[in-house]
Amino acid sequence: MSIKLEQVNYIYSPGTAYERQALKDINLEIPKGQFVGIIGHTGSGKSTLIQHFNGLVKPTSGKVLYEGEDIWGSGYSLKDLRSQVGLVFQYPEHQLFETDVLADVCFGPKNQGFSDDECKERAYQALAHVGLDEKYYQRSPFELSGGQKRRVAIAGVLAMNPKVLILDEPTAGLDPRGRDDILEQIDYFHQERGITVVLVSHSMEDIAKHVKRIIVMNKGGKAYDDTPEKVFAHYRELEEIGLAAPQITYIMNALNEGGLTVDTKVTTVKAAKEEILRALREK
């Protein structure tokens, strides 16, 4: 067991004119090693949800457990938790602050108590994993492009060797190649390190291609929690709450309605190609 939420509610500005319930009776469990996607329209509660996972936000009511322990229980170390459950913010500028890239990535391991040499070793390894060229290591992170900043932000979390990696819109604003590069690296961390990955994204194609489970947030609650195939089968209902399915879902349903008997539950280009070729051969 990795992360578990029990009857979690969160209310912004309670007792004021701005009071708003951001999370409503959330129950979920994310097992160790799972790759989970979280989707939802703006204001659905997805960002508030993931900030509960490593204790950045305390629930108004309910419990958040990590490895079976209540993270808000007496004597629990939130510092230790955040070393194991790393969060990469949507805007990398929010977590970049050192004078150069290498120092920035060393910051996390340094806070964990590692020596300077160990910090640098971890930083070099993490930066290599995210594919950032060494010529940028001595530059200010604020001189880098958007994609490079994201790589540095991810490396800063990876250098702490977390067991859980949470990414809030890690590919927002990137071109297609940059988006694919980042997501392929995330896949690599998941497979090679066996870490739990939680990916928040507005791209249904990215979610469909990479995750094994999707949690759909709507008005502070869970609308769906299942495999991509089962969640995107509800594409009409998703449209009603301001979301959409991958384009492949629409294409496969259109083909099926047009007389080509294909499996409408496939969600990736590769699977769709194989399914269409199979249907054509049989026809």
pLDDT 10s digits, 20-31: 999 999 999 999
Q: What is the dihedral of CA 128, 131, 134, 135, to 10 degrees?
A: -170
- Which contiguous run of DSSP H or E holds residue 26? strand 20-30
Q: Please check whether residues 60 and 178 belong to one and the same domain.
A: yes
- Statement: residue 233 has pLDDT above 60: yes
Rounded CA-CA distance 212/226 in Å is 9
Distance of CA 130 to the CA centre of its chain: 16
In a domain? residue 81 = yes
- What is the token pair recorded at 26? 């959330």
Under the banding of pLDDT at 50, 70 and 90, the label for residue 124 is very high
Higher pLDDT, 283 or 144: 144
229 and 267 Cβ atoms separated by less than 8 Å: yes
Average pLDDT, the chain: 91
- Segment among 82-86, 175-179, 277-281 with least mean pLDDT: 175-179
In a domain? residue 41 = yes
User: What's the pLDDT tens digit per position in 162-218?
Assistant: 999 999 988 877 778 878 888 888 888 888 888 999 999 988 888 988 999 999 999
Q: Please check whether residues 216 and 269 belong to one and the same domain.
A: no
Rounded CA-CA distance 57/74 in Å is 16
**CATH code of the domain containing 210:** 3.40.50.300
Q: Please check whether residues 250 and 133 belong to one and the same domain.
A: no
- Statement: residue 1 has pLDDT above 60: no
| pLDDT, position 93 | 78
Q: Please check whether residues 136 and 271 belong to one and the same domain.
A: no
In a domain? residue 237 = no
Beta bridge partner(s), residue 63: 6
In a domain? residue 241 = no
Other C-beta atoms closer than 10 Å to the C-beta of 248 total 23
Domain that holds residue 269: 246-283
149 and 141 Cβ atoms separated by less than 8 Å: yes
In sign, the C-alpha dihedral spanning 257, 261, 267, 270 is negative
Beta bridge partner(s), residue 87: 166
Number of domains into which the chain is organized:
2
User: What's the pLDDT tens digit per position in 31-75?
Assistant: 999 999 999 998 899 999 999 999 999 999 999 999 999 999 999
In sign, the C-alpha dihedral spanning 41, 45, 48, 52 is negative
Q: Please check whether residues 157 and 265 belong to one and the same domain.
A: no
| pLDDT, position 175 | 77
Q: Please check whether residues 154 and 193 belong to one and the same domain.
A: yes
Q: Please check whether residues 164 and 253 belong to one and the same domain.
A: no
Q: Please check whether residues 117 and 217 belong to one and the same domain.
A: yes
In a domain? residue 269 = yes
The phi-psi region of residue 242 (left if phi > 0; otherwise alpha if psi is between -120 and 50; otherwise beta) is: left
Q: Please check whether residues 146 and 272 belong to one and the same domain.
A: no
Q: Please check whether residues 262 and 189 belong to one and the same domain.
A: no
Q: Please check whether residues 227 and 264 belong to one and the same domain.
A: no
